[in-house]
């Protein structure tokens, strides 16, 4: 369960000023080490930390199955009173699995590719080809995903301050939902869950995110073998470019029955039946 912090605040509305207790989503640093050597530090919402660490390694292209990881455990990170902060994880890779290059800097909750040494390093090499996934989706199924994701955001209901990412079947059934202050962390938590459950590659699934579709989220979807990424907000130009390059279906501005299809329209059908070549049409941008 994700931790919520209680804070006494001043509530101002028109001429009214009242004191109340507000709930805040926790944000703390998590240091990920490999065999005792620091790899990266990310700002995250504590909870599902093992999944976050495993998913981060999936995103980096370092692991592709549960057998690639020997152990994950909390380690050093004690307070002055000697209590464990649970903010340091050590991951032991299985023998023969090479470690990824360490990040140069810490990763903020808003950036999933901070600390990469070069732009070339950002375009990690995927283990699975999203382009050959034959999954087909009905528009009505896709249109219902934001409500299904929102219904599973338990901590958001209390704080209003978390991003969410959910994995769904092609029929719209939820497989797993994760929340975090960082949208990229929420996706990594999903990928780590899938790795630890032996579900990679995530063929035939849809990744639904509560915010925008940035480059790093498209890349993470590709690295997990996800064929479809849908977002309630806009994609970036580089996200669309990568989706086209990798054969990923990318949907943005998904609100009610309206959506924009930026790449991979062949997978989306108004009836749930495969669209013929050239019969689909990309959405028209609407005011956000």
Query: What do you get for the CA distance between the two ends of the chain, in Å?
Result: 32
Cα distances (angstroms) measured from residue 258 to each of 17, 139, 140, 264, 278 = 40, 9, 10, 17, 20
CA dist., res. 143 & res. 38, Å (int):
42
**Of 285, 83, 46, 71, the residue nearest 185 (C-alpha):** 46
- 148 burial via Cβ count (<10 Å: 0-12, 13-18, 19+): middle
Residue from 75, 111, 114, 176 carrying the catalytic annotation = 111
Total residue count of the chain as it appears in this document = 288
Residue 75 is among the residues annotated as catalytic for this protein: no
CA dist., res. 32 & res. 37, Å (int):
9
Active site residues: 111
């Amino acid at each position: 369960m994700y931790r919520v912090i209680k804070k006494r605040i001043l509530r101002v509305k028109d001429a009214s000023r009242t004191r109340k207790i507000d709930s805040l989503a926790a944000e703390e640093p998590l240091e990920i080490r490999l065999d005792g050597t620091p790899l990266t530090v990310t700002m995250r919402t504590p909870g599902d930390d093992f999944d976050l660490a495993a998913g981060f390694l999936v995103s980096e292209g370092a692991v592709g199955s549960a057998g690639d990881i020997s152990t994950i455990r909390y380690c050093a990170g004690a307070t002055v009173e000697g209590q464990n902060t649970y903010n340091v994880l050590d991951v032991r890779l299985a023998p023969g699995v090479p470690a990824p290059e360490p990040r140069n800097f810490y990763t903020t909750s808003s950036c999933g590719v901070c600390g990469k040494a070069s732009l070339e390093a950002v375009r990690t090499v995927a283990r699975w080809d999203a382009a050959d996934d034959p999954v087909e989706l009905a528009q009505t199924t896709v249109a219902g995903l934001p409500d299904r994701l929102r219904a599973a955001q338990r901590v958001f209901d209390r704080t209003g301050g978390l991003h969410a990412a959910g994995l769904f079947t092609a029929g719209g059934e939820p497989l797993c939902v994760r929340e975090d202050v960082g949208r990229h962390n929420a996706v990594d938590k999903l990928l780590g869950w899938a790795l630890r459950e032996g579900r990679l590659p995530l063929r035939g699934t849809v990744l639904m995110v509560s915010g925008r579709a940035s480059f790093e989220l498209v890349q993470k979807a590709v690295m997990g073998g996800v064929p479809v990424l849908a977002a309630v907000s806009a994609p970036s130009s580089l996200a669309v470019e990568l989706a086209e390059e990798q054969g990923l279906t990318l949907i943005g501005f998904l609100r009610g029955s309206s959506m924009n299809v930026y790449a991979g329209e062949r997978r989306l059908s108004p009836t749930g039946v495969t669209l013929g070549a050239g019969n689909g049409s990309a959405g028209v941008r609407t005011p956000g």
